[in-house]
């Protein structure tokens, strides 16, 4: 009898049939809980993404409103930003919206914070089953946008450490109307003016020092400002144009001339442009793989054009004395305001007697520019800018730039989203 009972107990202990009927009910709450938690977490991420998009658009909208109208107060900007957030499916209450405004240098920051109830489907059901009150959670996001105005500089050196990043010596004349001169260099002589130079501008400013030497130099400026903040590159938003590879856009001009009735056409000039007598340019972008080559008294002219030097060594070094460049930069489009654009760091030398009659900018963010001898840049009715790493002017150069009534064309306002950590600390 005892053996028989022991045998049956051993058999029962090793019998696994019907085990799933016990395990499944025990594990079902865990499985359901996992699914429910996954649903809740998915809804939280979905809500956060929607809310972040609304915050981005609200902050950007507030910055755009400020850029368009400087007289707006914070309450008006807040109302506009909240309206934009609502348009982008922000569902929180007015108390769940906040905007902070701060200033740092020439940048104004707008930080929008949004909060919205967290959707907890599984948690709500679980709380109901337990007979407890559900704790209401909030999802919080923030976005920051900035408005930045870059001043109206006709001569701007971008180098942050070059000695004499702007150097004006000899009998140089720089007559700049309604625009200024600035060097980003922190050197003790970031701007150096000597000899019998005559300089007039709205302001003369530098991140570092300004040295005025020589009994004959005559500097007239509304303000001379040392140890100032850097100026942003006014064309930093510009993307260098891609080289046109299409066969029908590859062109040549080797010792060519082109009349106003039959002008040269935009496109890719792998060998550069070699002017003979006179070349007129049709509006557009000219992508040069070699120098612009011009002899004595030869002329190149064009309205709404940009000459882009995209290869190393390509540039203006092939322009001889007494050549004439009559160019007007495009007023609109990706290269607006730029007449000549150099995308490399090779030094450029403008030779004696060359006339740069340019309405727009020479933009050489990585190159040093030398204006040698009797070169004349600009004229009484042209607004000329030179933005380069550094610039040296000597001899009897005459730089004339008149930007009267065109301050909005050469000062630029940038609006964009930035990281929330960029918001100035209190």
Are residues 238 and 118 part of one domain?
A: no
Does any domain span residue 303? yes
Are residues 119 and 36 part of one domain?
A: yes
Residues 225, 148: Cα–Cα separation, whole Å: 20
Task: Identify any residues that bridge with 393 across adjacent strands, giving them in sequence order.
Answer: 168, 371
Q: What percent of the chain has pLDDT over 90?
A: 46
Are residues 338 and 357 part of one domain?
A: yes
In tens, the pLDDT along 232-278 reads: 888 988 999 988 775 557 788 988 899 999 999 999 999 999 999 99
Task: Report how many domains make up the chain.
Answer: 2
Pick 375 or 305 by higher pLDDT. Answer: 305
Identify the domain containing residue 115 by its residue range: 24-150
Average pLDDT, the chain: 84
Does any domain span residue 64? yes
Are residues 259 and 404 part of one domain?
A: yes
Q: What percent of the chain has pLDDT over 70?
A: 80
In tens, the pLDDT along 309-358 reads: 988 889 999 888 789 999 999 998 999 999 999 999 999 988 878 888 99
Are residues 188 and 80 part of one domain?
A: no
Are residues 340 and 275 part of one domain?
A: yes
Are residues 113 and 168 part of one domain?
A: no
Are residues 222 and 77 part of one domain?
A: no
Average pLDDT of 117-132?
56
Residues 214, 208: Cα–Cα separation, whole Å: 20
- Of the candidates 150, 169, 188, which is a domain's last residue? 150
Average pLDDT of 155-170?
94
Say if residues 244 and 224 touch (Cβ distance below 8 Å).
Answer: no
How many CB atoms sit inside 10 A of residue 70's CB? 10
Residues 411, 149: Cα–Cα separation, whole Å: 7
In tens, the pLDDT along 55-95 reads: 999 999 999 998 888 788 889 999 999 999 999 999 889 99
DSSP 262: S
């Amino acid at each position: 009898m005892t053996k028989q009972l022991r045998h049956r107990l051993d058999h029962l202990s090793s019998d696994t049939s019907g085990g799933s009927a016990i395990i499944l009910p025990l594990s079902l709450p865990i499985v359901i809980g996992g699914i429910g938690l996954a649903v809740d977490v998915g809804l939280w991420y979905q809500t956060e993404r929607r809310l972040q998009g609304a915050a981005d658009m609200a902050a950007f909208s507030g910055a755009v409103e400020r850029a368009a109208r400087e007289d707006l107060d914070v309450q008006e900007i807040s109302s506009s930003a909240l309206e934009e957030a609502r348009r982008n499916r922000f569902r929180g209450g007015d108390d769940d919206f906040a905007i902070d405004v701060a200033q740092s240098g020439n940048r104004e920051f707008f930080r929008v914070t949004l909060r919205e109830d967290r959707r907890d489907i599984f948690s709500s059901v679980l709380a109901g089953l337990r007979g407890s009150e559900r704790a209401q959670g909030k999802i919080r996001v923030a976005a920051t946008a900035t408005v930045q105005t870059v001043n109206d500089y006709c001569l701007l050196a971008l180098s942050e450490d070059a000695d004499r990043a702007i150097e004006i010596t000899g009998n140089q004349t720089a007559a700049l109307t309604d625009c200024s001169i600035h060097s980003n260099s922190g050197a003790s002589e970031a701007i150096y003016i000597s000899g019998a130079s005559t300089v007039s501008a709205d302001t003369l400013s530098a991140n570092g020092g300004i040295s005025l030497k020589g009994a004959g130099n005559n500097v007239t400026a509304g303000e001379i400002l040392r140890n100032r903040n850097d100026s942003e590159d006014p064309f930093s938003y510009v993307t260098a144009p891609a080289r046109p590879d299409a066969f029908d856009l590859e062109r040549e001009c080797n010792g060519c001339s082109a009349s106003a009735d039959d002008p040269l056409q935009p496109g890719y000039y792998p060998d550069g442009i070699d002017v003979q007598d006179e070349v007129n340019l049709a509006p557009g972008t000219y992508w040069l793989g070699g120098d612009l080559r011009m002899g004595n008294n030869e002329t190149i002219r064009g309205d709404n054009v940009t000459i882009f030097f995209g290869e190393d060594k390509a540039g203006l070094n092939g322009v001889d004395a007494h050549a004439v460049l009559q160019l007007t930069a495009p007023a609109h489009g990706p290269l607006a305001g730029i007449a000549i654009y150099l995308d490399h760091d090779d030094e450029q030398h403008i030779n004696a007697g060359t006339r740069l009659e340019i309405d727009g900018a020479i933009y050489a963010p990585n190159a040093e520019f030398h204006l040698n001898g009797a070169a004349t840049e600009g004229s009484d009715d042209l607004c000329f800018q030179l933005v380069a790493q550094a610039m040296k002017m000597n001899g009897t150069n005459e730089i004339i730039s008149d930007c009267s009534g065109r301050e909005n064309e050469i000062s630029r306002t940038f609006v964009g989203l930035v990281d929330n950590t960029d918001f100035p600390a209190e």
